[in-house]
Amino acid sequence: MKKSTKFLTLIAVASLLVSSITSCNKKAEETKKTVTEPTFNLATAKAEIEAANKEFMAFFAAGDSVGLANLYTQDAKFMNTGAPAITGRKNIQSALSGIIKSGVSRADLRTVEVWGTEDLITEEGEISLFVEEAEVYQGKYIVVWKKDNGKWKLFRDIFNSNLPAE
Amino acid sequence: MKKSTKFLTLIAVASLLVSSITSCNKKAEETKKTVTEPTFNLATAKAEIEAANKEFMAFFAAGDSVGLANLYTQDAKFMNTGAPAITGRKNIQSALSGIIKSGVSRADLRTVEVWGTEDLITEEGEISLFVEEAEVYQGKYIVVWKKDNGKWKLFRDIFNSNLPAE
């Protein structure tokens, strides 16, 4: 081997090593990126929950208990006041139908805060119920939302009144 | 360069490359390990929440409203029935002191299920309150627990009765 050939070989080996190490560091960086940049964003989730609440209010205003029940997961629990928790869409539909039939024609939901992850969000909120234009119920709630086929659904729903029992 | 020297150089270069690539893959694997093996365990968290509930029951049985209030975060909300939410330890202490003074001497808490992460757990549970040995309240609750200096503290606490209002 000539001196110049030897030199070229050394250059080639060195560049091979450098490129291998560079690609290695790149790989590590890419892996790290996956870790430190979560795709989940709580503000986005909050907006999604608020949009889901708007659907809830629209179904309520339309007196559509089937539409309302479909906003819950199949295994949801509706933890109503004055009765044990009600489990499952069919039973939840009956309960909501009963509330609508009692004359409640509007539900106002206001999200206060949310916490959680891409699969499960816990929401604190405020609720008002109206019979015609009169507010008949003023309360607070916690709803646990579960991602179900890409859509947030009510999974646990508990609330109570701000007004003293008569 | 002799043929044998050339061969040895090749071997050395090859082994250098292999070791560089191996260490690179090891690095990537280690990084991956950090991602796929979370230190958080939901079953452990559930046991910790149950232990915190035992503390709650012990303070309740001792009539210790200060001890109870210290199980809540500084900014906690106690979302009692029949009144707007109560915020902060001092106000929560007053509310719990009122319940104790009304004669309630025992609170039974039973965790049904928990969801969440290492910082925030949402718990579904069942509660009974007793005056002497008589059960005067039977209800359900959702508590949002927050990790506060390494300890789970009640952050949101909402409940309602299973029994119809009289």
pTM of the model: 0.78
A6, A24, A164 ranked by CB distance to B24: nearest = A24
Nearest to B57 by CA among B128, B121, B120: B128
Please tell me the predicted confidence (pLDDT) of residue B101.
96
User: Which chain A positions have a beta carbon within 8 Å of B13's beta carbon?
Assistant: 13, 16
Which one, of A151, A155, A104, lies nearest residue A128 by Cα?
A104
Q: With cut-offs at 50, 70 and 90, classify the pLDDT of residue B6.
A: low
- Residue A36's closest chain B neighbor by CA? B35
Determine the Cα–Cα distance for residues A153 and A142; give it in Å rounded to an integer: 14
What is the chain A residue with the closest CA to B138? A84
The 10s digit of each residue's pLDDT in A8-24 is 555 555 555 555 555 54
> Residue B38 above 70 pLDDT?
no
Higher pLDDT, A81 or A25: A81
Residue range A63-108, pLDDT digits in tens = 999 999 999 999 999 999 999 999 999 999 999 999 999 999 999 9
Residue with tokens 């907006």: A47
From chain B, pick out residues whose CB is under 8 angstroms from the CB of A84: 140, 162
Phi, psi torsion values for A156, nearest 5 degrees:
-135, 135
pLDDT computed for residue B147 by the predictor: 97
Q: Return left, alpha or beta for A40; rule: phi > 0 is left, psi -120 to 50 is alpha, else beta.
A: beta
Residue B87: partners with Cβ closer than 8 Å, 6 or more residues away: B75, B76, B77, B78
Structure tokens at A111: 């999200």
Residue B1: its chain A contacts at CB < 8 A? Answer: 1, 6
Q: List strands edge to edge, sheet with A104-116.
A: A86-87, A72-79, A151-161, A134-148, A120-131, A104-116
pLDDT exceeds 90 at position B139 = yes
Mean pLDDT of chain A: 87
Mean pLDDT check: name the lowest of B3-17, B93-107, B128-142.
B3-17
Q: To the nearest whole percent, how much of chain B has pLDDT over 90? A: 75
* Pairing label, strands A86-87, A72-79: antiparallel
Does residue A117 sit in helix, strand or coil? coil
- Looking at residue A11, the DSSP 8-state letter turns out to be H
- CA–CA min distance B43, chain A (Å): 17
Q: Is B158's CB within 8 Å of A140's CB?
A: yes
Q: How far apart are CA A98 and CA B31, in angstroms?
A: 54
A-B contacts at Cβ under 8 angstroms = 120
Nearest-by-CA chain B residue for A160: B81
Residue bearing the bigger pLDDT, A14 or A61: A61
Integer CA distances (angstroms), A126 to A8, A41, A112, A165, B145, in order: 75, 23, 7, 18, 20
In angstroms, what separates the C-alpha of A10 from chain B's closest C-alpha? 10
Cβ contact (<8 Å) for B82 and A160? yes
Q: Do A28 and B27 touch (CB under 8 A)?
A: yes
With CB atoms and an 8 Å threshold, state whether B158 touches A164: no
The pLDDT of residue A140 is 98
Angle subtended by helix axes B3-36 and A3-36, to nearest 10: 0
Q: How far is CA A21 from CA B16, B20, B54, B55, in A?
A: 11, 7, 55, 55
